[in-house]
């Protein structure tokens, strides 16, 4: 992909990685991703904002063929998908100075080999004049590392936000417009990477509202040419109450736990509670994460294996614990052959869950009438608690 103009003096550079399928050895990328760098050219000086994953450096190098001089390389975040090509950029431009926050400086120095004396640390609120183009630096830690800063270009109203507002979405179109598929990818990205940092992001969203950018140019995915489209979505994901919905995650070995899941779905639906049911052996981690953004209650269903939960159920509990969703209630259900410690072991995998753990429902073998009654009671409890908490659509 060639470099592309965003406005006069500002170009997108970078790489569309259509075929990447896994990030951080954890996050599935069904739609690929991009590593976005941006070139800002003033009347006096030129700056490159971020670089690209080092494996894709030759593609950025080709885009830089028409850039004879770089005064600054702004590194907004030290993770390698953005900083990894910095040594190559500095070798190509021996005059270039690295501008980065001091938190990022420390991480860069421990992860990358390059002449560290070429770094000039900047603080929150500092700015650099390129000649008619000003780069204002805003420290936005914990989106999702402690080092990150965003850069505002007031003359054009563009906020270069790094991972903040990103999406793992490969697209030949530069701008997101208001495409729902980009929004779906952005929600998934928020859920997988940013959801644990809601308190910090809440504060940064206020900064973004004050800056009131026209465009938001993240380091992954398309540029949001209608900034409010993505800003308002993040505002809802971070600040709105969870919804009157249940995320039901289950695994079943011989059909009994699955039968319990079916009863629960029917009983909840009868009471006006929306359910998203996901079977865990074939589950997409990103889809689970995205559903966790809004769920009012998380239910995990598991058979007893040896004396505890199925490992897939434990894995789902660990994921829910890690991502710190807004859910106010959680519950455990499942079937066993003769006994075990499913509830204790599954609950122990949720040490950071701050909501209420509901009375579990366990049965031996297939759910009989008594078990069906208990599942109906659990559904009634959930519907009542959602109503009392004011959870809506």
82 near ligand FEO (CB under 6 A): yes
Complex with ligand FEO: residue 23 or 237, whichever CB lies closer: 23
| Whole-angstrom distance, CA of residue 142 vs CA of residue 282 | 31
Binding string, residues 214-253; x marks residues near ligand FEO by CB under 6 A: -----xx---------------------------------
| Whole-angstrom distance, CA of residue 74 vs CA of residue 113 | 17
| Site size with ligand FEO, rule: CB under 6 A | 9
| Whole-angstrom distance, CA of residue 215 vs CA of residue 312 | 41
Residue 98 φ/ψ region, left for φ over 0, alpha for ψ in the -120 to 50 degree band, beta for the rest: beta
The residue range among 13-21, 76-84, 117-125, 181-189 that interacts with ligand FEO, by the rule CB under 6 A, is 76-84
| Whole-angstrom distance, CA of residue 269 vs CA of residue 229 | 31
Task: Considering only residues 103 through 162, tell me which ones interact with ligand FEO, judged by CB under 6 A.
Answer: 144-145
Complex with ligand FEO: residue 223 or 391, whichever CB lies closer: 223
Q: Which residue is nearest to ligand FEO (CB)?
A: 79
Binding string, residues 47-66; x marks residues near ligand FEO by CB under 6 A: --------------------
The residue range among 77-85, 168-176, 261-269, 376-384 that interacts with ligand FEO, by the rule CB under 6 A, is 77-85
163 near ligand FEO (CB under 6 A): yes
Complex with ligand FEO: residue 166 or 303, whichever CB lies closer: 166
| Whole-angstrom distance, CA of residue 297 vs CA of residue 329 | 5
77 near ligand FEO (CB under 6 A): yes
Complex with ligand FEO: residue 80 or 241, whichever CB lies closer: 80
Using CA atoms, how far residue 379 sits from 112, 319, 332, 371, 376, in Å, is 53, 23, 12, 12, 5
79 near ligand FEO (CB under 6 A): yes
Within 10 angstroms of residue 25's Cβ, the number of other Cβ atoms is 5
Give me the residues that bind ligand FEO (CB under 6 A), please: 77, 79, 81-82, 144-145, 163, 219-220
């Amino acid at each position: 992909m060639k470099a592309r103009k965003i406005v006069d003096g500002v170009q997108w550079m970078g790489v569309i990685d259509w075929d990447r399928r896994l990030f951080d050895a954890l996050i599935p990328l069904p739609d690929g991703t991009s590593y976005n760098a941006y070139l800002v050219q003033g009347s006096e000086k030129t700056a490159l904002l971020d670089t690209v994953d080092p494996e894709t450096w030759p593609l950025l190098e080709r885009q830089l063929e028409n850039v004879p001089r770089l005064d600054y390389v702004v590194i907004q975040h030290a993770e390698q998908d953005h900083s990894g090509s910095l040594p190559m950029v500095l070798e190509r431009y021996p005059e270039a100075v690295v501008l980065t926050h001091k938190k990022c400086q420390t991480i860069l120095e421990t992860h990358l080999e390059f002449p560290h004396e070429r770094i000039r640390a900047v603080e929150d609120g500092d700015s650099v004049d390129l000649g008619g183009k000003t780069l204002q630096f805003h420290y936005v830690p914990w989106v999702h590392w402690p080092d990150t800063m965003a850069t505002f270009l007031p003359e054009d109203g563009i906020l270069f936000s790094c991972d903040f507002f990103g999406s793992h979405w490969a697209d030949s179109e530069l701008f997101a417009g208001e495409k729902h598929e980009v929004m779906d990818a952005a929600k998934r990205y928020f859920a997988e990477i940013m959801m644990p940092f809601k308190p910090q992001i809440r504060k940064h969203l206020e900064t973004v509202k004050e800056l009131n950018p026209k465009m938001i140019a993240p380091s992954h995915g398309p540029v949001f040419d209608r900034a409010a489209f993505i800003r308002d979505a993040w505002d809802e994901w971070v600040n709105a109450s969870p919804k009157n919905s249940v995320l039901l995650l289950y695994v079943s070995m011989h059909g009994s736990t699955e039968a319990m899941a079916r009863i629960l779905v029917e009983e909840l639906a009868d009471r006006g509670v929306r359910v998203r049911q996901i079977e865990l052996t074939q589950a997409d981690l990103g889809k689970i994460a995205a559903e966790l953004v809004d769920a009012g209650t998380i239910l995990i269903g598991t058979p007893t294996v040896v004396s505890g939960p199925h490992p897939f159920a434990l894995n789902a509990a660990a994921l829910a614990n890690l991502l710190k969703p807004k859910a106010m209630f959680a519950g455990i259900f499942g079937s066993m052959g003769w006994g075990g410690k499913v509830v204790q072991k599954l609950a122990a995998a949720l040490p950071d869950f701050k909501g209420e753990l509901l009375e579990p429902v366990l049965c031996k073998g297939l759910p009989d009438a008594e078990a069906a009654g208990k599942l109906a009671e659990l559904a009634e409890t959930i519907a009542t608690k959602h109503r009392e908490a004011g959870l809506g659509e």
